[in-house]
Amino acid sequence: MALGNGDQGPSLPVRRSGRVRKRPSNHSENADYETKPSTRSPVSGETRRNAKRKAAPEVFDVPDNLLEASLGPWGENEQSEWPSWIELESDPAFFTAILGLLGVKGARIEEVLSVDEDSLAALPPPVYGLVFLYEYVSEESVEAAETTRDVWFANQTTQNACATIALLNIIMNAEGLGLGEKLRQFKQESKDLSPPLRGNMINDSDWIRVAHNSFARRLDLLNAALALQNDVDDRKKRARTSTTRQKKKKVKREKVKKDKSSGNSAYHFIAFVPVGQQVWQLDGLTSTPVFVGEYEKDQHWTSVVRPVIQERMMRYETERLSFSLLALCGDNLTHVRQKLATNVRSLVDLEAQFGGNGSGSGSSNPDWHSKTKGDIICNPTDNRLLAYQLDAQDIHDVAPDSEANPSQPPQDSPELTVEAALELWEKLGDEQKRILAEYDRELKMGGQEATTILGRTRDYTAAVHEWVKRLADRGHDRTRCSTKSRDRHSEQYKTKKNPPSDDDMSKRSSAAAANGAASKDASPPTTDKQKVLLSTDTGHFSLVRAMHLADLITEMNGLCGILSLFSSMRYCLGEPTQHGNLWAALLFLPFGLFFDFLDGKVARWRKKSSMMGQELDSLADLISFGVSPAAVAFAIGMRTPLDHLCLAFFVLCGLTRLARFNVTASSIPTDASGKARYFEGTPIPTTLGLDALMGWWVSNGWIHDALPGGVCFAGSAFEVHPVVVLFMVHGCLMTSRTIHIPKP
C-alpha cells in the first residue's frame, strides 16, 4: 500500500511501526530562515501521546513439531550451522580424532594415569604438551614473569571451548608438528593478533567448531544453547534488580557464595607447553600466559611441570576434586614405521655388501644366501612393506648410518667380516620381528579407539524415539481394549448386584455343578472373598489368614514331595549300600497321595474352595508325583545324559497334564452331584505305580549296575538304560486326550 504525502513527492518505504518517515527538508543547513517558536512548551512531566513501542522480538524459524525436529536424524550440513560449543569428555580417543579433523599430522593424545617420572617418561616421544583437566576453582590471576612474545596464546571467548583452546595453544607452539593447510593459514593470520582476538577468531572459524562438535548429538547442542540462553536471562534479571541487590549487598553475597559452592562442578582444560627452553601454562581464562620454569638441554621439560601439577592436585586434596591429564605426543605408529624403515635399510645394505650384488666379499661366499633365508623383509620392493605404509622410496630416503644400532660397527667398516655380518643380520632380523609386533600392537590400540569413536558418533536417538512412539501407539490400543473389557466387567458386576430371576438362578446352579467338586470350585462368593482378602490385606501374615483348611492339607502334600527329594539327594551323597534314605524317598510319596485325597474331602466337607487351592493342588502334585519319582530314578542309577532327557520329558508331561486339567476341568461332563465323570488322561498320582516298581527293585538289589535291562550303548554318547522308557510311556499316557479313566 502506497502513501501519498502531498507536495513532498512520493512517500518513503514504510517502517516497522507502519508510519511514514518525514522526508528531509529541501533547504540547506547554512541557509537563512526564520524559526517559528514552538507552540508547545516542553514539560518535564509530560507524557507521550502514544506509549513508546518496544523493539520487535527476533524472529526464528520454529518447526511445527519441536519434538520431532529435536529427536529426528541429522540434516545435510546441519551440524555446521549450530553456533553452540558442547562440553568435551576427557577421552584420548576423542581428542585424537579432533586432532585429525583439525589437520594435525603425526600426533596423538595419550592418557597419563599417574603424574610421576616413570609415567611421563613412558610417553611416546616427542611430547608436545600436556592438557590438564580439573574442577574449576577461581584463583588469583598470576601475571607472566617473562616476556611472552614468542608464545602463541589465545583466550577463551565462548562457553565450553576450553578443550579446543588448550589443544590449539599447544599445536601453535609445537616445534616439528605437521600442520594441515587450514591450520598453517590460521596460524599465519593470527600471528599478530592479541589473545582475545585470537579467541574470537577461533569462535568465528566454523571448521574448528565443527571439529570440536564432531561427537555431539543434537540434544547436546540444544542443551548447550539452552545453558547459554539461561545465563543471558540470568544476567538480564540481575541487571534489572541491581538496585534492590545493592540494598542487601551483604546478605546477597553470602547467598551467592553458598549457591556457587552447592552448584554443579564445572570442569576446565588448561595447557602446559614448552617454548624454547621455557615451560608455560596457557589458561584461556587468564589474560596472559603463566611462566612455569626453565629446563636444561639434557633435561626433559616434563620434569619442570610435574611438580606444578602435583602441587595443584595436592592443594585441593581435602575437597576431593577430580583431575585428568592428557599428553599430546608423537604418533607411535609413525615412530615405529621409521624404525622399521631404518631396519630394512640396514638389511638392504648388508645384502648389497655381502650378498654378491656389490663389490664386497659376498661373491666369494656362496653360503650367504642359504644362511640369510627367512621371512625377514630385506628388499625395498617387498610388497609386505605396503601393509606398513612404506615403499621403496621411504627405504632409500633413510640415511645409512650406525645410529640405529650404536652397539654395532658401521656396515661398510673394513673390520666387518662375513661372520660378523651374519651375526648382525640375525640381530637385525630379531629386531625387525620386535618392531613388527610393536606395530601390530599399536594398530590394535588404534582399532579400539576407532571402535570407541564409532560408538560415540552413532546416534540412535531417532531410532529409539521411533521405537518408543510405536510402543506408545501399541499401549494406546491396549488401553482402549482394557477400557472395553473393564466396561464389560462393570456391566456383569451390576447384573450380579441386582436380584436374579429364577431362570438365572437355575443357570448359575448348573454352571457351578459343571465345575465339579473334584476341582474344588466352590460358590463364586467364596472365591471372590478370598481374592479380595489376598489383594487388600497387606499384613505380614495375611497370606496365612487367607488360606483355608484344605489349602494347608495341600501344603502337606507338597512337603512330602520335597522331603522325598531331599532324601534322594542324601542317598546320592552317602554310601550306595546304605538304602535308608532311598527307602525314605520312596515312602514319602504314598503319604503325599494320602494328603492329596484328604484335601479334596475337606474342601467338600467345609464347602470352601478357591482358585488358590486349585493352583496349590496342581503344584503340590507336580512335586510329589512328577519331580520326586524322577529324582528317585536318578538315585537308583538312571544317570546318563539320555536318561536325564527321558526323565525330564516325564516331568514336563506331568506339568502339561496339570495345566490342561486347570483349563478344561469345567468342560468335562459331570454327574448329578456335579462331580466330573472321568479323568482325561491318566491322573498324575498314578506315578505311584512307578514308585512301587522302584521299591521292588531296591528290595531285590536291582539298582545301579544291576538295573533291569542293563545299559545300552555303554561307553558312548548314547548310553541309556532301557527301563527309563517306562517313564516316557507313562508321561505320554498322562497327556493323552483319548484315554478316559472313570472316577471312583
Residue 365 and residue 280 in one domain: no
Residue 308 and residue 206 in one domain: yes
Residue 565 and residue 704 in one domain: yes
Residue 547 and residue 589 in one domain: yes
Residue 320 and residue 338 in one domain: no
* 106 and 332 Cβ atoms separated by less than 8 Å: no
Residue 238 lies in a domain: no
pLDDT above 60 (res 187):
yes
pLDDT tens for residues 368-381?
666 676 778 888 88
Residue 202 lies in a domain: yes
Residue 151 lies in a domain: yes
Residue 486 lies in a domain: no
pLDDT tens for residues 224-234?
778 878 888 88
pLDDT tens for residues 597-609?
888 788 778 776 6
Residues in Cβ contact with 180 at an 8 Å cutoff, skipping those fewer than 6 apart: 102, 103, 104, 105
Beta bridge partners of 110: 327
pLDDT value, residue 651:
93
Q: Which of 277, 296, 330 is the last residue of a domain?
A: 330
pLDDT value, residue 481:
57
Domain of 562 in residue numbering reads as: 525-742
Residue 322 and residue 357 in one domain: no
Reply yes or no on whether 548 is catalytic.
no
* 3-state SS string for 202-263: HHHCHHHHHHHCCCCCHHHHHHHHHHHHHHHHHHHHHHHCHHHHHHCHHHHHHHHHHHHHHC
Residue 588 lies in a domain: yes
pLDDT value, residue 132:
95
Catalytic-role residue among 268, 335, 465, 644: 268
C-alpha cell at 141: 590471576
Total structural domains in the chain? Answer: 3
pLDDT value, residue 404:
43
Residue 216 lies in a domain: yes
Residue 320 and residue 379 in one domain: no
Provide, rounded to the nearest whole percent, the portion of the chain with pLDDT above 70. Answer: 69
Q: Which of 374, 407, 441 is the last residue of a domain?
A: 441
Region of poorest pLDDT, from 251-255, 343-347, 583-587? 251-255
Residue 277 and residue 355 in one domain: no
Average confidence score pLDDT of the chain: 76
Catalytic-role residue among 162, 378, 646, 653: 162
pLDDT above 70 (res 387):
yes
Residue 325 and residue 397 in one domain: no
Cα separation, 62 vs 497, whole angstroms: 57
We report the CATH number of the domain holding residue 98 as: 3.40.532.10
pLDDT value, residue 8:
44
pLDDT value, residue 309:
93
- CA distances 434 to 293, 340, 388, 440, Å, are 38, 10, 14, 10
Residue 140 lies in a domain: yes
pLDDT tens for residues 8-29?
444 444 444 444 444 454 544 4
Residue 675: CA atoms inside 13 Å, Cβ hemisphere, count?
10
Residue 279 and residue 171 in one domain: yes
Q: Which of 441, 468, 501 is the last residue of a domain?
A: 441
Reply yes or no on whether 730 is catalytic.
no
We report the CATH number of the domain holding residue 648 as: 1.20.120
Residue 191 and residue 326 in one domain: yes
pLDDT tens for residues 128-185?
999 999 887 766 655 554 556 789 999 999 888 999 999 999 999 999 888 989 999 9
Residue 399 and residue 317 in one domain: no
pLDDT value, residue 259:
42
pLDDT value, residue 565:
93
Residue 640: CA atoms inside 13 Å, Cβ hemisphere, count?
20
